[in-house]
Amino acid sequence: MDIRKIAVIGSFAAGAALGLAPLAAADPAATDPLIGVVGSEESLLNSLFVSEADLAGVGGDVTGPTATNPFDIITPADIHAVQGTGTTPFDFLVYGVDPSAAGLASDPGSYNVFNGALVEFDDALNVELYSLENNGALMPDATAATDLIGSATTIDNALDLGTATNAADYFWNFGVGDLSGFLQVPLTFLDLPV
């Protein structure tokens, strides 16, 4: 009977060792806990963009993500046919109530959903998540390159504010501004102090 107990305990130990071996071998500094979050955000943005393009009847002009660009985009050669001067169904679905006033992108893609507001809200969330996982630390530039999805200029401006809270507030306020442009309604009551 003791042999059976030893065999059962030994099998649990072997299973645990095999199951946890990848974690033990992984370098904690090299792993990025936000990769799954960022991938989900990009996937949601792509899904919304494709849905909007399909609703506008231009879904066939969408090019999927590539190894260097995780976002769906309008095929560059088709931009002139898909995006007008703020008058096409695509323009209204992506940029909002008054696309001309909101500002049309020269390279429309899933990062423009809701006039770009979702990207800014995602970045605010990612800065806060990183901060929560790292004792309130601000995300370093190397991590920001993979965990933030907005424009390089916006990311630099946010990180230059010096704290995670200020960076997250900056992204949030930028997103509120983009959403205001989408709706053509001032949403300043949602702004956070930076």
Mean pLDDT, the chain, integer: 85
Q: What is the DSSP letter of 28?
A: T
Cross-strand pairs, 176: none
Mean pLDDT value across residues 101-113: 94
In the predicted model, what is the mean pLDDT of residues 139-168?
A: 93
Lowest mean pLDDT among 25-29, 134-138, 182-186: 25-29
pLDDT (0 to 100) of residue 29: 44
pLDDT at 108 over 50: yes
Split at pLDDT 50, 70, 90, the class of 24 is very low
At 68 the pLDDT is 87
Cα–Cα distance for residue pair 54/166, rounded to 1 Å: 38
pLDDT at position 27 over 70: no
Q: Is the pLDDT of residue 121 over 90?
A: yes
**Residue 84 pLDDT grade (very low, low, confident, very high; cuts 50, 70, 90):** confident
Query: Is pLDDT above 70 for 152?
Result: yes
Q: For 62, phi and psi rounded to 5 degrees?
A: -90, 135
Instruction: Give dist(CA 34, CA 133) in Å, integer.
Output: 10
| pLDDT at 2 (0 to 100) | 57
For residues 155-177, give the mean pLDDT: 94
Q: How long is the chain?
A: 194
Euclidean distance between CA atoms 69 and 76, whole angstroms: 14
Q: Give the pLDDT of residue 3.
A: 56
Mean pLDDT confidence for 17-40: 63
Asked if the model's pLDDT at residue 13 lies above 80, the reply is: no
Distance CA 104, CA 112 (A): 9
